[in-house]
Amino acid sequence: MPEVPDLEAIRTFFNHRIIGETVERVDPVIPFIVRVPRDEFVTSLTGDTFGEVHRFGKFLLFSLASGNVLVVNPMLTGRFTYIPTKERRKGRTALVLTLGNGQDIRYADQRVMGRIYLTTPDEVKNLPQFGDSGPDVLSPDVTEEVFRERLRKHSGQIKSILVNHKFLAGIGNAYSDEILWEAKIHPYRKRTQLTDEEIGALYKAIHTTMDWAIAILADLMKDNLDYTEWRGHLRVHRQGGKPCPRCGTNISEVTAGQRITSFCRSCQPEVPHL
């Protein structure tokens, strides 16, 4: 699933290439993914020109000269490519936007789970999983004080809170594991069990982890967007059985509710060391 570091790298890639480019042809290959009537979508988008690309949580928002916004929620398997129009399309390509510069923006989705919308800035807040989201995880408005206040309103295991878009928008399964490892907090500890010091460490770990990952992915995608989701830099997520890069203990993996959680039982003890 593309998470904030992936989407930030994609956003930066597009902002270096498509601002001012006009959409000459619109081909919704798998119309189900586009949550606008096909003819309306094609007519409205054809001839429009891209402005700046923004991100909120796990949504990418492509601003357009018409005042509309093309919103993409890639969900689990949505992937973008930026490729010459003449190149052969890959399987499960769901949407192709042909630009005036001879390039295509292509969106493919192996599980056809993503959603694409064409709407206005005022209506964006009404999109599913958008309007009821908490603030973006990287918003400057989320100070440590705000973070602590929002955290107090949620109960349950700390990992479940981190991946809840109503708490903060943008943290998914992979980076919640990385954040908790960075903060040395067990993923299944209850929020009420965390000390003030641990909450401070968690807040710091979110920004440390995101800054670290965004830089890696931005470098990987600076010249080529045709990528398979990159996870080679992750320290613990899906690294079960490998040594923890901090202490050497084998990393544990637990599957619950169709979610794999990876952590170090030594660095992230269930009962904190006193």
Nearest CA to 187 out of 197, 196, 198 is that of 198
Collect all residues with Cβ–Cβ distance below 8 Å to 26 and sequence separation of at least 6: 41, 42, 45, 46, 95, 96, 97, 98
And the tokens for 236? 């613990």
How many beta carbons lie within 10 A of that of residue 200, not counting itself?
A: 15
Length of the chain: 274
- Closest-CA residue to 79 (of 99, 60, 106): 106
The residues annotated as belonging to the active site are 2-3, 58, 259
Q: Which amino acid, 153?
A: K
Query: How many helical (H) and strand (E) elements, i.e. helices and strands, does the chain have?
Result: 6, 10
Q: What is the DSSP string of 24-64?
A: EEEE-SSGGGB-S-HHHHHHHHTT-BEEEEEEETTEEEEEE
Report yes or no: 1 and 174 within 8 Å, Cβ to Cβ. Answer: yes
Residues 6+ apart with CB under 8 A from 251: 236, 239, 240, 241, 242, 243, 244, 262, 263, 264
If we measure between CA atoms, which residue out of 57, 53, 59 comes closest to residue 97?
Answer: 53
